[in-house]
Amino acid sequence: MIDKMDFIDKIPTPSYVIDENLLIKNLEILKSVQERSGAKVLLAQKAFSMFRVYPLISRYLYGTTASGLYEARLGREQFGKEVHIFSPAYREDEFEEILAVADHIVFNSFAQWKKFGQRALAAGKECSLRVNPECSTQEGHGMYDPCGQYSRLGVTAANFEPDQLEGLAGLHLHTLCEQNADALAVTVDAMEKTFGKYLHTMKYLNLGGGHHITREDYDIELLIRTIKHLQVVYDVEVYLEPGEAIALNAGFLVSSVLDTLHNGMDIAILDASAACHMPDVLEVPYRPNIIGAGKHNEKKYTYRFGGPTCLAGDIIGDYSFDAPLHPGDRLVFCDMAIYSMVKNNTFNGIRLPDILLLKTDGAIELVRSFGYEDFKNRLS
């Protein structure tokens, strides 16, 4: 495990470190789900787009899914298997290029299907329609609930047009976020009541992402039963599009303490930023675990961790330790492969973390290092 590796004190910080052994552990679980259920699992690149490991992932999964043209291109160029794409609305000036790189195109409305569908079919693409079963299974995460009130994602029953289904190969739904199979079962039941009668004419059903399949408490048996039920009743192929599950708990962010100070409580300034390097800490929000650290006041010395930016709210969280912290001390944040590299930014001109790969044999590969030109070149 990474917490036992002596390289932590030798690498530059901040750095993302992807553990190849942990990644393979997740992929083996997903491979087993595919083999036992007959479903096809795709990598949702919106969560994890580290294409250095695409050759590894492609040995286990059927392909990739994209949220736009650039992700679709990345999947085609670096993964080389099936490419699926969904967008709430496609741009006219990008659609021809999408046709050149995508195999499956998911439309968000009948208007989009009518506008682009014939061109997609003429290009030999399989097309599907995203539906909204209007069944929310999330609590407290409205930003991530595609079934919430006034959602723009997916066709509802009130807007469904049964006479416009000719040419569509499948239906698509994505309603989950970091959830277990019980939420999927509830969603599938709701979907069947509204859209099940249309599935009999379809080739496949895509159950989208949000499935935390590689989490320790995930109910894989219920997932497999749910998939087999759909296959038997509707005679359809089933796709899953997990993003987080592929690299869940397989990556880390290594940071250094730059300074400590006191203002009502002890504070540590790190070279890692919540705003720049782990945006979901502020957006979701959540408190990432640190190896060897406890919660507020759980251990003798408690610190509030803040980043090096000018943003007053660039706060990672409160952590406690058995000994006081000093400048130069290293900290290892857990579960930093997903939604970190794909969402990070250079606000304040803060340098992006290096990307390192911890190989199965213990060797460290520097995949990418970032500098001033990376900051400059995204500006005018």
pLDDT of residue 6: 78
What predicted TM-score, i.e. pTM, was given to this entire model? 0.96
Contact between residue 212 and residue 179 where contact means Cβ atoms under 8 Å apart: yes
- Determine the Cα–Cα distance for residues 202 and 237; give it in Å rounded to an integer: 9
| pLDDT tens track, the chain, 380 positions | 555 567 899 999 999 999 999 999 999 999 999 999 999 999 999 999 999 999 999 999 999 999 999 999 999 999 999 999 999 999 999 999 999 999 999 999 999 999 999 999 999 999 999 999 999 998 767 788 999 999 999 999 999 999 999 999 999 999 999 999 999 999 999 999 999 999 999 999 999 999 999 999 999 999 999 999 999 999 999 999 999 999 999 999 999 999 999 999 999 999 999 999 999 999 988 899 999 999 999 999 999 999 999 999 999 999 999 999 999 999 999 999 999 999 999 999 999 999 999 999 999 999 999 999 999 999 99
Burial 329-362 (b: 16+ CB within 10 A, else e): bebbbbbbbbbbbbebebbeebbbbbbbbbeeee
pLDDT of residue 143: 85
Q: Which CATH class is domain 2-18+251-336+344-376?
A: mainly beta
Q: Which fold has domain 38-246?
A: TIM Barrel (3.20.20)
CA-closest candidate to residue 84, choices 98, 71, 66: 66
pLDDT of residue 142: 78
Q: Crossing angle for the helix pair 92-101 and 110-122, nearest 10 degrees? A: 50
The full set of domain ranges for the chain reads 2-18+251-336+344-376, 38-246
- Give DSSP secondary structure letters for 220-254: HHHHHHHHHHHHHHH--EEEE--SHHHHTT-EEEE
pLDDT of residue 138: 83
- Determine the Cα–Cα distance for residues 54 and 295; give it in Å rounded to an integer: 36
